[in-house]
Structure 1
Amino acid sequence: MTDQPSPEHRVPDGVDRATVEAVGRLTEGLETIERARGHLYSFHQLTGAADFQIGDAAEQLRAAGHGDLADRIERELVGRNVIEGRWTFQVVEEYDDGYWSAVRETERSVREELLDGRRHVFEAGLKEERRTHGDPRHTARPAGRGE
């Protein structure tokens, strides 16, 4: 029956709305962290690409007869740490191993403790409130996803 939410998206027995909302907000925070992590990976890749572009520019300057400027660019910029002692891959690794991992693990453990590990229970509730029940374009779940 596609007009009822899947069991994994239903509020567990005995769990109040305030708890569902609080866990939903925590999950929303995790989702924001995931987006930030994506931007961090973009920073990592863009910085790496820029380092190669700057290296190419140094080679082109050298070929154009500007060896002193090419040497300066290679010495001061190519391969330079972006933060003291770190290239971007090291920043990404520290972020992943520290903050990102801690947020993911805490969000998961809170869901386990309070919602039997169920994901997106708050959003499933929003869907139930906002969809047009009985309209085939507004089913609770895809066809074929039985209980």
Structure 2
Amino acid sequence: MENYKDIFKKALPFLVAIVFFIALSFIYFNPVLEGKVLPQMDNIHAKGISHELAKYHEETGEYSQWTNSMFGGMPAYQIYLGETNNIYLYIQRFLRLGLPYTTVAILFIYMFGFYLLLLSLRFNHWQSILGGMAFGLASYNIIIIAAGH
């Protein structure tokens, strides 16, 4: 059995990558540290669109499957489902590491996910860190964070 020193030595590059990506995410979205929130328009619109359904659930305790607030009426399953037991929510909470979700955590997940992909493609740790940083900070990814995706 390996001793703790060997395990730590093997885990060190991963820990460096995680700490670096978290720090970079907070540096990029540093207004979050002042309590500011990025106004993501798609999320704001979604709250407005689902208001009728949320109000109905609040009043009756049931989830409506139809809304009259969009396009003169449409099925509501794409707008407001209420609580779900989707396993993705649990995976997402784990990957977020408790980071602020709408900005810092998403950027961290972009960078760390691409880092893991490059490692699986047999790039070394430093190349993978650089690739993860480049992917996470790519303009499209920043734009879709700002949009609320």
Alignment TM-score, normalising by the size of structure 1: 0.24
Higher RCO structure (Cα 8 Å, ≥6 apart) = 1
Specify the structure having the higher radius of gyration (Cα).
1
Alignment TM-score, normalising by the size of structure 2: 0.24
